[in-house]
Amino acid sequence: MATHFFVTGTDTDAGKTYCSAALLRGLVANGVRCAALKPIASGVDAAGHNTDAKALAAVTGQTVHAVNPICFTLPTAPHLAAQAQGDSLSLAQLDAVLVATKPEPACELTLVEGAGGWLLPLNAQQYLADWVIAQQWPVLLVVGVKLGCLNHSLLTVRELRRAGVPLLGYIANVLDPEMHYLAETLQDLQSRLQLPCLATLPYAPQGPTDAQCAALAQTFLQNFNGS
Ligand SMILES: Nc1ncnc2c1ncn2[C@@H]1O[C@H](COP(=O)(O)OP(=O)(O)OP(=O)(O)O)[C@@H](O)[C@H]1O
Ligand SMILES: [Mg+2]
């Protein structure tokens, strides 16, 4: 039976997919059989596929549909995209997704990428976070390192701790190559969040190196097995 963990971010565009693909690359290279799930996505390319799901499927070898069962065409908040097309989103739908997308028996780890930040609305009453809390999956936080990330990461970690979910740690993902006081910000994140920093991924539009992916996977596995 595969074990799931959830990847959230300090915001949309924090680098959840960038870091998830890097981690999966490192895990697969380490011989770990992985699957990915992006349960909800909004926004598609010309072929009608969500690009996050494509990026994750390219690493795990799954089909894009297997990675992303619920996809809305409009590139906006999923609950609004759902509403706009006369559809809806709910925790019950997500539970059904989990039943329908059972990973292969050989799969050891399933990475579940959220959408947006931790408190992503599903409808007027429910949040994606409610589902993760109910599943009791450990959570990995991607901090999009740019001006404002201290506030965003502290707010997110405060809420994750309030919810009582197991915390695997965070990845400091550098989004701004010219950020002033980058080293000081990374140091400040570490001392204020009081969480394991699994990796700092530098700004690299071409993607992380194999060595960075392998190092991330190694630190992840140490924290995952100890969680
Ligand atoms: N370390 C990095 N260096 C350079 N570019 C990056 C880095 N991390 C992310 N990016 C780029 O920033 C953009 C947003 O990243 P990504 O799509 O991974 O965010 P996300 O959190 O998954 O967003 P969403 O909420 O839409 O799922 C992408 O174009 C990605 O390639
Ligand atoms: Mg993404």
Q: Measured from the CA of 142, which atom of ligand 1 is nearest?
A: 21
Tens-place pLDDT, residues 57-90: 999 999 999 999 999 999 999 999 999 999 999 9
Q: Which residues line ligand 1 (CB under 6 A)?
A: 9, 12-18, 52, 115-116, 173-175, 201, 203-205
What separation, in Å, do the N-terminal and C-terminal C-alpha atoms of the chain show?
A: 17
On average, the pLDDT of the chain sits at 96
Fold of the 3-225 domain = Rossmann fold (3.40.50)
Q: What is the pLDDT of residues 138-193, one digit of tens each?
A: 999 999 999 999 999 999 999 999 999 999 999 999 999 999 999 999 999 999 99
> Is the model's pLDDT at 41 over the cut of 90?
yes
Q: How far apart are CA 113 and CA 186, in angstroms?
A: 24
Q: How many CA atoms lie less than 13 Å away from 124 in the CB half-sphere?
A: 1
> Average pLDDT in the 125-146 region?
98
Tell me, what's the pLDDT at 226?
Answer: 74
Radius of gyration of the chain (CA): 17
Query: What is the C-alpha separation between 48 and 204, in angstroms, rounded?
Result: 27
CB of 70 within 8 A of CB of 40? Answer: yes
Rounded-to-integer distance, Cα 168 and Cα 126, Å: 24
What local confidence, expressed as pLDDT, does residue 203 receive?
Answer: 98
Centre of ligand 2 from the C-alpha of residue 122, in Å: 17
The verdict on whether 38 is a catalytic residue reads yes
Domain positions in the chain are 3-225
pLDDT of residue 108: 94
Instruction: Give the ligand 1 atom nearest the CA of 19.
Output: 18
